[in-house]
Structure 1
């Protein structure tokens, strides 16, 4: 019976290093999709058995590059949508009614969620986590509130806090 020689997963030119493609983020090594070089024992005993990496074959590298290109396209579309939203919401001003005393101090406070509800009701899909407030709004008046719609796209919206109109 003829015995077939198994090729090692590492090349002798790389001085014993194994080239792996990370399947998940590994602290102090790299992020998902990166190609890293590690020692054979680390690859064989930890990364490969735990499913944190795979051997960096040409097919795997090509698949990762295609996936990365798709992710960049999706991110570009998301950023474009955030820019359009930032442009339109910057022209809008939100009016919120709140109970206040004679000096203009609110009995409660206005939070990011309240502003988000008003913007969503007006047709602007702004989530509470997009709103950047230094603290809750506790007085009547006009405020300029910063919106962070995308890591690279921000905008401002005017928020008017007015007293509740009494209906008699």
Structure 2
């Protein structure tokens, strides 16, 4: 259970929580002499898995801290974003770079980024390890893109008019 502990941990919980949630879902076993013996026998295996997770987390931390995310978001001329950069946006950008990070593990100061600039976000890894990534939010030229799109539409309309005029001229000349 993510918020409670890992395999092999001994925790005290309320009777109702254990009876109604943990035990029926096989997420926990009652603490008694038999279960203690079982976990003592598997202790080396459990510790080996925990050590592997720690090593994987340390290497992931090194890789993440070298990452600079460059996000291009629509913004107005004063630098205020039309949307916001949330942990979902950061998780998607990291996924494009090959990192599979749960959005719940990404913490952005102030929960969202609402203006253009440079920021830091923290990512909670295994146990107490934390990686810090740099996020650079840049403005997409929304106004320029809109005017370019309008100009392209005008050019397309002019081309269509010329094509229809040429077809009409051919029809009249052939009659």
State how far apart, in whole Å, the 2-side matches of 1:54 and 1:138 are.
49
Q: In the alignment, which of 60, 63, 74 is matched to residue 38 of structure 2? A: 63
Does the CA-based 8 Å contact 1:133-1:146 persist in structure 2?
Answer: yes
State how far apart, in whole Å, the 1-side matches of 2:32 and 2:119 are.
55
Larger strand proportion of the pair: 1
Does the CA-based 8 Å contact 1:26-1:52 persist in structure 2?
Answer: no
Per-residue deviation at 1:52?
6.1
Deviations along 1:46-102, whole A, 9 cap, x unmatched?
xxxxx9647525xx5432112333222211111111110110111110111111111
State how far apart, in whole Å, the 2-side matches of 1:101 and 1:53 are.
59
> Number of aligned pairs?
123
Deviations along 1:134-154, whole A, 9 cap, x unmatched?
220000011011111122211
Does the CA-based 8 Å contact 1:141-1:161 persist in structure 2?
Answer: yes
| TM-score, length-scaled by structure 2 | 0.61
Does the CA-based 8 Å contact 2:108-2:120 persist in structure 1?
Answer: no
For structure 2, the 5+ residue unaligned runs are: 1-9, 19-27, 149-175
State how far apart, in whole Å, the 1-side matches of 2:116 and 2:103 are.
21
State how far apart, in whole Å, the 2-side matches of 1:119 and 1:80 are.
20
Structure 1 stretches of 4+ with a deviation exceeding 6 A read none
Per-residue deviation at 1:115?
0.5
